[in-house]
Structure 1
Amino acid sequence: MAQSFKFELVSPERLLVSAQAEAVVIPATEGEMTVMANHAPVMTTIKPGVVAVTLSGGKVDRYVVFGGFADILPEGCTLLAESAIHVDEIDRADIARRIKAAQEDLNDSVDHHARTKAEEYLGQLTTLQGAILPA
């Protein structure tokens, strides 16, 4: 059995998870990473994606996050999400609204930096849509 650590997933609306976990896979902006007990201290930004939490005992829960950051220490991990929801609670309409808004931001972008950022976010949302929603 893997050693456990304290994991918390917090959004502005609520505390979604506060539990002992064996592993947490997070969608960091530099690439997906797995956090385990005694992880080296790291702070990273989060892109839209799925957080997979393996709780003590082996149960796996999945949450969709829309950006934020994670503070990782040897004794625990706190993920502060801009927005988060359990994967079972997400719906097509919400993802479609976010994609439409991102497309509008892309169309309204006036400089290279804004356009690049909007393209990146739209790509992340589209990938997320394909990963969590059946066709």
Structure 2
Amino acid sequence: MVMADNFNFELVSPERLLVSGSVSEVVIPATEGEMTVMANHAPTMTTIKPGIVTVKFADGRKDRYVVFGGFADIVPTGCTLLAESAVHVDEFNRDDIARRVEAARADLSTATSDEQKFGIETYLSQLTTLQGAILPA
């Protein structure tokens, strides 16, 4: 079996550094779609939508984190994801997503431009998808 090359991954939120270590792969919710990052990835910068980051550590264990937007800076030797907000999936609070949906709906009711409305509607749709992915029906 060929071992995948490892690279350094950091998941950072304004509150704290959630992950910093050697990983074999990271799946990130890029705004263009889910993206798997591995060692020697071409340099890329991408925005992140609300979703789940799946981290596969060098030792084989996997972990999942919920992020609410941000951006990722990817270079061949590593990936840094700067999240607007991030928590471990086990620490995720279902009230948090409900509050975010409520706030986004309130913003939508006061949005003045079509562009602003579209941005908020997109975010609401991403939150709803995320809610379905995390919370048991």
**TM over 0.5, shorter chain:** yes
Deviation at 1:57, TM superposition (A): 1.5
Deviation at 1:105, TM superposition (A): 1.0
Aligned residues: 135
| Equivalent residue number for residue 77 of structure 1 | 79
| Equivalent residue number for residue 126 of structure 1 | 128
Deviation at 1:92, TM superposition (A): 1.2
SS in 2 for 1:113: helix
Return the match for 2:21 from 19, 37, 59.
Answer: 19
Cα distance in 2 between the residues matched to 1:87 and 1:104: 26
TM-score (norm 1): 0.98
| Equivalent residue number for residue 48 of structure 1 | 50
Cα distance in 1 between the residues matched to 2:61 and 2:102: 34
Deviation at 1:112, TM superposition (A): 0.3
The runs of at least 4 aligned residues of structure 1 exceeding 4 Å deviation read: none
100-109 or 3-12: bigger deviation: 100-109
Deviation at 1:123, TM superposition (A): 0.3
Deviation at 1:106, TM superposition (A): 1.1
| Equivalent residue number for residue 5 of structure 1 | 7
Cα distance in 1 between the residues matched to 2:106 and 2:58: 42
Q: State the identity %.
A: 70
| Equivalent residue number for residue 65 of structure 1 | 67
Q: For residues 31-61 of structure 1, give each alpha carbon's deviation from its aligned partner in whole angstroms, at most 9, with x where no partner exists.
A: 1100000000000000000000000111110
Unaligned runs of 5+ in 2: none
- Give 1:80's aligned amino acid: L
- Give 1:95's aligned amino acid: I
Cα distance in 1 between the residues matched to 2:133 and 2:58: 25
Cα distance in 2 between the residues matched to 1:25 and 1:95: 21
SS in 2 for 1:115: helix
Unaligned runs of 5+ in 1: none
